[in-house]
Amino acid sequence: MEHKIEISRKVFEENFMIAKKAFVLNTSLEASACAAAFIGNNQPTSAEAMKEAKKILGKNASVLTTLGGGNCRQVVIATLAQSSDPESAMEKIKKIYKGLDKKFFKSDYLVLAATMIYRACNEKDYDKYIKRTREIYKLIRHDHPFITGSEDITNCVVMALTDVDPEVIAHNTEECFTALKKVFWGGNKIQYMACVASVFGGEPDDKAAEIRKAYELLKGEGVRFDSDAFGIVAAVGLLVREEDKKAICKRIRKLSDEMKTIRGMGAWGAGKRIRNILSCAIVLDAYTGGSDMGRSSVINSIISTIIAIEIAACAAAASAAASSASASC
């Protein structure tokens, strides 16, 4: 496991620096999202592949109408850069996006959801998983209309990819939500954890207890997350065996500290909370061996969390700029 963690850390650093250099205006947050999409690879990408992917996306960005100036485009670029036929990959992502766009309101998360489905599914199954994602979203929103929003679309993709009947997995999510309410507070935070917990077997109360243990261990190590990243706490709680939890949480904290030395990942760059998210992704990938459905779902969930934080940061910056402009009038 240690060997895999070290390889992944080095590959992440190289991809992070390539992303920073490939795009002059790229922020550390965008670069971390881009590099996160390569987690699990044993070799870094090339600046040439990244730039070619950027050109291909640029030609097609008008179709993906929610891309704007940043947000999810970095994950799309990373996905295209990994493909042996990036033009074909772009066409497939567009196809999935158009299918999702017919069933959901427009948001940055649709592009990310399309990319997640492309990465996980065969082309013949695209319509199936688009339909399943919509069905699960409607059920979750019915149960929690006031806390279910566009950011939950990616969680619904993760659940759709399990192939469990939508009614069943939505019921599982609600049972996990009820169990988690006994040991956590905050509706959105609990929903993020419940969505992740629903893809794992076991009794809801037992899963909630394991998630709480992971939370306490991570907190004890100084590894903290914002509310929209609490799905990662659920991942640690349910992917890691009881006897390994303490050591894994320590290793996550250690890796987060190590990544602070990467230029752009310190306090003035991506920051500690992003390092914590990335450290969880790398350590969990190494721990699970990068081979099971749980790993795939969790890594997708972690990437979506980084994007969620970026979107929130962009929205906050836009709001601050608007307020400043209004005040100066």
Lowest mean pLDDT among 14-28, 67-81, 144-158: 67-81
* pTM of the shown model: 0.89
Q: Which of 225, 276, 277, 285 is nearest to 253 (CA)?
A: 276
Location of structure tokens 């489905």: 117
**Whether residue 207 has pLDDT greater than 80:** yes
| 176 vs 309, residue with greater confidence | 176
pLDDT digit string (tens) for 104-137? 988 878 988 999 999 989 999 999 999 999 999 9
300 falls in which pLDDT band (50, 70, 90)? low
CA dist., res. 166 & res. 302, Å (int): 22
% of the chain at pLDDT higher than 70: 85
Q: What pLDDT digit, counting tens, does each position of 152-177 carry?
A: 998 899 999 988 999 999 999 999 99
Residue with tokens 């997708």: 300
